[in-house]
Amino acid sequence: MIHTVQTDLYASSSPLEWATIGNGILFTAQIPIDDKGRVVEGGVEAQARQTLDNLKHTLEKAGAGMQNLTQVLIYVTDKSYLPVVNKVYAEYMQEPYPNRAALVVAGLARDEMLVEMVAYAAL
């Protein structure tokens, strides 16, 4: 059985849930949007921080924390963004770190988005 995690994140008009739980695993994809559904301004650092804030919020709503993360997939639209995302990411994570991959993509769902993260957590 799959359960939805109820968050306070912006309610998307797309057919999606911000997070679901199945077999004790939380599945989520987070983007740099604020509570009004707008992509935050301020470049990749501000977007990475908002994305991680959204991830942290989602985990907390599921009764977990960043320490429950098992894997994070980071998508950026330019390789030069990775050092900035790494710096912000390190502020949110503690050892033992989750498994991670970083991918450079041609674009994301919204043109103004520079980063997106997909994450899995053990509950």
| pLDDT tens string 41-97 | 999 999 999 999 999 999 999 999 999 999 999 999 999 999 999 999 999 999 999
Task: Provide the pLDDT for residue 40.
Answer: 98
How far is Cα 117 from Cα 74, in angstroms, rounded to an integer?
5
pLDDT per residue as tens digits for the range 5-15:
999 999 999 99
The token pair that represents 9 in the structure block = 């994140």
Give the integer Cα–Cα distance in Å for 53 and 49.
6
Choosing among 3.40.605.10, 3.30.1330.40, 3.90.226.10, 3.40.1010.10, the CATH entry for 2-122 is 3.30.1330.40
What are the boundaries of each domain within the chain? 2-122
Which residue's entry shows tokens 């450079």? Answer: 104
DSSP 33: B
pLDDT in tens, 14-23: 999 999 999 9
Query: Residue 10's pLDDT is what?
Result: 97
